[in-house]
Amino acid sequence: MAAVRLERIHHVGYVVEDIDAALPVYRERFGMDVQVRETLPEQQVEAVLLGSGPGHVELIRPTAPDGGVARFLERRGPGMHHVAFSVPDLAAALDELAAGGAELIDRVPRRGLGGHLVAFIHPRSSGGVLTELVEAHE
Amino acid sequence: MAAVRLERIHHVGYVVEDIDAALPVYRERFGMDVQVRETLPEQQVEAVLLGSGPGHVELIRPTAPDGGVARFLERRGPGMHHVAFSVPDLAAALDELAAGGAELIDRVPRRGLGGHLVAFIHPRSSGGVLTELVEAHE
């Protein structure tokens, strides 16, 4: 099987009901600042990227009742939603994964939070955990 | 509130039913090797640390039916269980967090997987997500 090398965790994504209510603990207890705050209409979410170093927390809340994140929140409650690894060349990583038979939610990179290129691997092909790849420009 | 700075994600911890059944996707698809495999009797788990860089995946399975991880698996099914951040001085970080009123599961560092010093913050004090701090010697 063709392998990509997932060496760095870019962020962990948490679903929350209310971003503003969730922020103080990260800011005041964990020393993380808001780096990006954005609404992603095609994902039906509002999201915030927090951090003070290379490892980030992404907070996500649904902006519509029928998107995937809204369904997750209804079914599972708030909490960990996905894990994102940095890769140097996302398009090449997706080609490798597809060649190895992985089921990809995004076969080609798309624009994610903060303008990074991102793509999601289906949990069926990533050990049951929703896994994102990020080509971060930082 | 006194703040620690959580800058680096050391690992994400996934609960699984069967470690050996879970390994191939990480090894063959994501290029991660087993770095440590250990039974932690006081936690009633067997755990594996996987990785090929600074960001790791930890797989955990319960070894007894009545531990916290066994209850998690029964209630939530397999999946993301906790997030661990690296800190340079764990005892100092725990002191800061306690001074800021955080509820700590481990008030002092204890030995974790691979001999690293670790401590857990209660989800009530970490945005609803079970959060581990690791003083990694690598």
How do residues B31-62 score in pLDDT, each as one tens digit? 999 999 999 998 899 999 999 999 999 999 99
CB A33 within 8 A of CB A27: yes
Indicate the pLDDT class of residue B30, thresholds 50, 70 and 90.
very high
Q: How confident is the model at residue B85 (pLDDT cuts 50, 70, 90)?
A: very high
Residues 82 through 111 of chain A touching chain B, CB cutoff 8 Å:
83, 85, 97, 100, 102
Residues linked to residue B12 through DSSP beta bridges, in sequence order: B57, B83
Q: Where are the beta strands (DSSP E) in A53-103?
A: 56-62, 79-86
Sheet strand arrangement including B45-51: B33-40, B45-51, B56-62, B8-15, B79-86, B131-135, B117-121, B110-111
Are A80 and B83 a contacting pair at CB < 8 A? yes
Q: How many CB pairs under 8 A join A and B?
A: 121
Separation in Å, CA A8 to CA A15, A49, A86, A110, B106 = 21, 17, 6, 20, 27
The partner residue sitting opposite B6, judged by closest CB among A3, A32, A79, is: A32
- Burial letters for B106-126: b for 16+ Cβ neighbours within 10 Å, e otherwise? beebeebbbebbbbbbeeebb
Query: What is the greatest pairwise CA distance in chain A?
Result: 45
Alpha carbon of B104: minimum distance to chain A alpha carbons (Å): 13
| Positions in chain A short of pLDDT 70 | 1-2, 138
**pLDDT value at B2 more than 60:** no
Q: Which helix (H) or strand (E) holds B68?
A: helix B68-76
Domains of chain A and any CATH numbers = 8-135 (3.10.180.10)
> Could you give the CA distance from residue A56 to residue A34 in angstroms, rounded to a whole number?
10
DSSP for residue A104: B
Question: What's the mean pLDDT in B65-84?
Answer: 95
Q: How is residue A2 written in tokens? A: 């063709």
Tell me which chain B residues have a C-beta less than 8 angstroms from the C-beta of A52.
5-7
**Hey, how many other C-beta atoms are within 10 angstroms of the C-beta on A77?**
11
Q: Do A29 and B55 touch (CB under 8 A)?
A: no
Q: Which helix (H) or strand (E) holds B15?
A: strand B8-15
Instruction: Give the predicted TM-score (pTM) of the model.
Output: 0.95
Of A6, A52, A128, the CB nearest to B7: A52
pLDDT of residue B136: 84
| pLDDT confidence bin for B80, thresholds 50/70/90 | very high
What type of residue is B114? Answer: G
Q: What is the arithmetic mean of pLDDT over B11-18? A: 97
Closest CA to A119 of A130, A127, A108: A108
The Cβ of residue B11 has, within 10 Å, a number of other Cβ atoms equal to: 25
Residues in CB range of A77: below 8 A, 6 or more apart: none
Helical H runs in A30-76? Answer: 68-76
Query: Which of B5, B11, B54 minimises the CB distance to A7?
Result: B54
What is the nearest CA distance from B78 to chain A, expressed in angstroms? 7
Task: Determine the pLDDT at residue A136.
Answer: 84
- Per-residue pLDDT at A123: 96
A15 touches chain B (CB under 8 A): no
> What integer is the mean pLDDT of B2-7?
86
The overall average pLDDT reported for chain B is: 95
Give the pLDDT of residue A68. Answer: 92
